[in-house]
Structure 1
Amino acid sequence: MVNIVYLVIAYKNLEQMIRLVNRLNAPNVQFLIHIDKKTDEDYLTGAQQALRDYPNCYFIKRETVYWGAWGLTQVSLNAIHYIEAHDLKCDFLIYMSGQDYPLQSNDRIHAFFENHQGKQFLDHFTLPYEHWPGRGGLNRVELYHFQLGSKTLVYPPFAGRDSPPRLLKPIMPFFSFKPRKLPGGYRFYGGSAAIILARSGITYIDQFVKTDLGQRIVNFYTRTTNADEMFFQTVMMNSSLGNTVVNDELRFTDWSKKAAHPEILTKHDYQRLKDSGHLFARKFDVQVDAEILDLLDEGSD
């Protein structure tokens, strides 16, 4: 049977996160649990207490995660290194936020991955991408982004705008700047942060980031915004494993309102979730609607 490691990234709704682990728990499954460093210590204690009898759950190094900053990418890199350093039995690493949930039974999920050994599942596209704002997403990577806590400073200032403030126009020529380019002649890729890596991809990335080029790529992306939606696509699609990448994140997400975050899914979405054929979906919030999770559990039996 295929061995799956779920990376569960959580910071809110403790009961919902525990329910996710319980729902996915099965033979040949392990969990790497990441609790945001900003999250209250009571949350961490509660999670450790609730999962104390799960020998297949490991709490990994806590990172401070701000939306759009490098931290979330570092969490995934930490998980990748943990698997390699501890030689976990792992054919697939599956990213799961604490607000994801499966749409299929564990048996069906495992059967799917058994039939797709060696494949990486990464939603991806080249930049510029017409559906991303800021010159098709190029502003994310060609401008410098500096993180100061929850705030982001961009250099050169106002470069991402069609027109800077009138008072600043006279001094804009003095901001020396050339669009940033990736080291190694790499091409920019973007996609979903919800990555699924086969063991070959896990090993490749863990080794790659230790190389000189890998370190330069990492340093480059620490000065971008939303690196979690670009770093792994860029590394994998510019690698010798590019032909193992399937352009699919295997999960249902509702971006219909074109906001910064996907829509919360409720019981009213049940039928289209079941009809989607996907393995997973996001995002759910038990504070908004817990009944949808009950329906999904009943429907996956």
Structure 2
Amino acid sequence: MDLILQLLFTGIGIGAVYALVALGFVLIFRATNVVNFAQGEFSMVAAYLMVYFAVDLGWPYWLSFLLALAGMALLGVIFNLGVYYPLRHRSYLPVIIATIGASILLANSVLAIYGPQPQVLPGWFETPGIQLGPVYLDSQYLLIIGVTILLVIFNFWFFEKTLLGKKLQATSQDKEMASLLGISVSTMIMITFIYSAVLGGLAGLLVAPVLFVSIQMGSTIALKAFAATIIGGFGDVTGAIIGGLALGVIETFGAAYISVPYKDGFAFLVLIAFLIFRPQGIFGERVAEKA
């Protein structure tokens, strides 16, 4: 029982990172009907920005954190203007290919600057964790879970209670109707890209002290988060969060009880099972294919 509780805590911590990136996937998809395959690279770029400010320049941790998030907001603007906006009237396929190209460009740009050697980013806390009964609560995992809970609460409040959130929802549901109501669709999509980039960056900043900061971390997180969106129900915000948490718990238990080298494979076994038996995901609705 002690081991189960410990694994559950660790799995939720890892799953919270997947949930944040999955949420970015869902928000972009709902606003543009396009899957942004560069979402994971937002996490990687943010982590390297943090390394640059906090480690290379030696600036205060809190300032480096804020500057990294500001950098991600700027990257969201650039991504919207440079990748999505020029192709917004094309079919979804060219836009998806463009996001894949942007992902490769971001990864190789960072590789050219830092090289293939992974970087180490210190954690936020001097105390590594606390012992609560039989469970050891790692400080960084506590931070990840706490921030994710706050963001989930903020997300539901923002989209349900604020005017801007309702405009974003209206844009995601029907762009033509939103435009007729006087909502600037292009501005709403811009805000969505900024928010998604910040979410992805925040996930990278939270998990970076737990993992090595590397070029591959973005693609790894993105694949897991993409699987989480499908498990939860693609396009569903609640599904993205639940799917991310579930995936983190499943792969943690799989690594502990079956095999650590196959840890990444468990996520995709679950994904394949959902695609076969419940392709609409947990919260999705089955759509009949037209003849």
Structure number with bigger Rg? 1
Whose relative contact order is higher, 1 or 2, with alpha carbons under 8 Å and at least 6 apart? 2
TM-score by length of 2: 0.25
Task: Give the structure with the larger helix fraction.
Answer: 2
TM-score by length of 1: 0.25
